[in-house]
Amino acid sequence: MAAQQRPLSPHLTIYSRQLTAVLSILHRATGVFIAIGAFVLMAWLMAVAGEAEDYQRFMQLAGSLPGKLLLVAMLASFVYHMLNGVRHLLWDSGWGLELPRVYKTGWTVVVLSVLAAALLLWLVFGAAP
């Protein structure tokens, strides 16, 4: 007797990506990335408290292209995670759970995250006194 072929359940390749799902996954990913970034912060604090050579070595690493990219990614992750966290707090209070408002606040978080991260990066890397 031949095995019956069971229907396949829908999977990710069938559905179009929805903003709500993408932002939810991004929120979780940025939370994990921020936790990893805490170790970078700890390494910086240890370098500051340590010998001058330790601090200089850390600053060389942080000033390299991979170091700068890591710092940019950590800053952007923090900004997005914070703004989306505020959105989640509003949801917890019962505000903004209607689908049109969910999408509107989602796009607002995306736009504000890009603008705030760009402003902070300009202040950190571009604004010379």
> Which residues lie below 8 Å from residue 54, measured CB to CB, with a gap of 6+?
46, 47
| Domain spans, the chain | 19-126
What pLDDT score was predicted for residue 109?
A: 98
What pLDDT score was predicted for residue 3?
A: 65
What pLDDT score was predicted for residue 12?
A: 61
What pLDDT score was predicted for residue 65?
A: 94
Contact (Cβ atoms closer than 8 angstroms) between residue 96 and residue 102: yes
Question: Average pLDDT of each block of 10 consecutive residues along the chain (129 residues)?
Answer: 67 77 96 95 96 96 94 96 98 96 98 97 80
Contact (Cβ atoms closer than 8 angstroms) between residue 77 and residue 37: yes
Give residue for tokens 């209607």: 98
Per the rule left: phi > 0, alpha: psi between -120 and 50, beta: everything else, 128 is: beta
Q: What fold is seen in the domain 19-126? A: 3 helical TM bundles of succinate and fumarate reductases (1.20.1300)
Amino acid, single-letter form, for residue 38: A
